[in-house]
Amino acid sequence: MITKVKKINRDASSEKDYEEASQILRNGGLVAFPTETVYGLGGDGLLASAAEKIYAAKGRPSDNPLIIHIADIESLALLTDEVPEQARKLADAFWPGPLTMIFKKSAKVPYGTTGGLETVAVRMPDHPVALDLIRNSGVLIAAPSANTSGRPSPTKADHVYEDLNGKIDMIIDGGSVGIGIESTIVDLTSSVPTILRPGFITKEMLEDVIGIVEIDKAILEKGVKDGLRPKAPGMKYKHYAPKGDLTLYDGEEDLVVEAINQAVKEKQKLNKKVGVIATDETKERYQADYVMSIGSRKNEQSIAKHLYGILRDFDHLEVEYIYGECFSSANFGQAIMNRLLKAAGYQVVKLSDKEGRDKVDELR
Ligand code: TXA
Ligand code: MG
């Protein structure tokens, strides 16, 4: 299959720009498109055969359900017969935006889209190209992140091309995304609303609108280690993994820099190619084959925005070992650390523990 790449200017597009993409979607084909979080791989959410094509293109297990994207609140009534009061409030507060809500599904939504579940995930993205594509095509677009399953989510059209060229009909290039990590998912079918995946919309922001919100314990570091089963099927897979072996270091800045430099040296002695994920504040302090800054500690949003891109950059450089710093897990930091920890397969050296410090001392 030949994958067409179509550039669309997010600030100046016309109906004509969407004609071909709309036709593809209406014919059951696949179009990747930008959203404010990451690029999505879109197909008709009400058509089981489109979902099948999405799973095939991504190499994704078909028990992992898709999010359906809508452009107006009226469309929600097609997807679910029950919109809880709390969902209305959250939609008013955060849609369009990086929030996905889980509802009981209506009969119209095929099990192919929901991975066999009785529930459906819905989101109204806050990106003019995504909204115009939904409106112009008249299709409610099911879209997972537009990466090959297990690779970092795409934050630019080039990333989509790298993974899916030849496997889908079209890629709409609308420039880099704004946020850089996937939407917050909140389940409103449980007795207490529960976050199944952290994102830009934090627990605190949700609680300001609807009161107490829980977080699925299975997605926290301890829950993962205890082998709890996440409520969002996709959270159980090893995800976002770079090809190199990534280890994170947690602790006071000077100690982290020293420990990472030591680890780099050890690997270089073995002739390994080594990279460091630094910050603007620390990047001058590392010696490795490649040192890349993920952003400034003073600007959490810059960190989220560069996270997946940097993992892909290290893949291109064929770095074998990667060392990185940890960040605060408060607020939006929870989403950032969730993705980083997953990318690292939860390999963290904690320099606040005696064991971690002893290791640094040993190598001094
Ligand atoms: O920001 C985003 O959400 C992006 C953009 C493209 O909108 N999409 C995205 O989709 O991240 P995906 O498929 O990569 O991740 C969807 C997650 C998966 O972990 C899936 O298991 C979960 O949502 N999910 C979908 N439907 C669900 C349902 N009915 N119940 C529980 N979890 C669900
Ligand atoms: Mg994904």
C-alpha of residue 184 to centroid of ligand 1, in Å: 9
Protein residue with its CA nearest to atom 6 in ligand 1 = 40
* pLDDT in the model for residue 225: 87
Q: Is the peptide bond before 233 cis (omega within 30 degrees of 0)?
A: no
* pLDDT in the model for residue 34: 98
Mean pLDDT, the chain, as a whole number? Answer: 95
C-alpha of residue 145 to centroid of ligand 2, in Å: 4
* pLDDT in the model for residue 359: 73
* pLDDT in the model for residue 136: 98
Q: Is a pLDDT exceeding 90 seen at residue 93? A: yes
Report how far Cα 103 is from the mean position of its chain's Cα atoms: 21
DSSP string, 158-218: HHHHHHHTTTSSEEEE----SS-SPPEEEE-SSSS-EEEE--SS-HHHHHHHHS--EE-GG
- Span 334-361, average pLDDT: 88
Helix (H) / strand (E) containing 130: helix 128-137
- Span 58-87, average pLDDT: 96
* pLDDT in the model for residue 362: 76
pTM: 0.96
Q: Is a pLDDT exceeding 90 seen at residue 146? A: yes
The C-alpha atoms of residue 157 and residue 7 are separated, in whole angstroms, by 9
Which phi and psi angles does 90 have, rounded to 5°? Answer: -65, -40
Residues at CB less than 6 angstroms from ligand 1: 35, 37-38, 40, 64-67, 100, 102, 114, 117, 119-121, 123, 125, 143-145, 182-183, 185, 196-197, 231-235
- Span 306-334, average pLDDT: 96
C-alpha of residue 212 to centroid of ligand 2, in Å: 27
- Span 197-211, average pLDDT: 98
Task: For residue 254, count other CB atoms closer than 10 A to its CB.
Answer: 11
CA torsion 45→200→207→239, rounded to 10°? 70
Q: Is a pLDDT exceeding 80 seen at residue 110? A: yes
C-alpha of residue 63 to centroid of ligand 1, in Å: 12
Neighbours of ion ligand 2 (CB under 5 A): 145
Q: Is a pLDDT exceeding 80 seen at residue 356? A: no
Q: Residue 239 — pLDDT band, cuts 50, 70, 90?
A: low
Closest ligand to residue 147's CA? 2
Protein residue with its CA nearest to atom 30 in ligand 1 = 232
The atom of ligand 1 lying closest to the CA of 183 is 1
Lowest mean pLDDT among 2-11, 13-22, 160-169, 231-240: 231-240
Closest ligand to residue 197's CA? 1
Q: Residue 35 — pLDDT band, cuts 50, 70, 90?
A: very high
Q: Residue 234 — pLDDT band, cuts 50, 70, 90?
A: confident
* pLDDT in the model for residue 204: 98
The atom of ligand 1 lying closest to the CA of 69 is 7
Q: Residue 354 — pLDDT band, cuts 50, 70, 90?
A: confident
Protein residue with its CA nearest to atom 19 in ligand 1 = 234
Closest ligand to residue 41's CA? 1
* pLDDT in the model for residue 103: 98
Q: Which amino acid is at 96?
A: P
Percentage of the chain beyond pLDDT 90 is 90
The atom of ligand 1 lying closest to the CA of 153 is 14
C-alpha of residue 63 to centroid of ligand 2, in Å: 13
C-alpha of residue 197 to centroid of ligand 2, in Å: 11
- Span 259-279, average pLDDT: 97
Q: Is a pLDDT exceeding 90 seen at residue 353? A: no
- Span 63-90, average pLDDT: 97
* pLDDT in the model for residue 80: 98
Q: Is a pLDDT exceeding 90 seen at residue 62? A: no
Q: Residue 244 — pLDDT band, cuts 50, 70, 90?
A: very high
The C-alpha atoms of residue 147 and residue 32 are separated, in whole angstroms, by 10
The token duo for 312 is 């892909």
C-alpha of residue 35 to centroid of ligand 2, in Å: 13
Q: Is a pLDDT exceeding 80 seen at residue 363? A: no
* pLDDT in the model for residue 238: 65
* pLDDT in the model for residue 184: 98
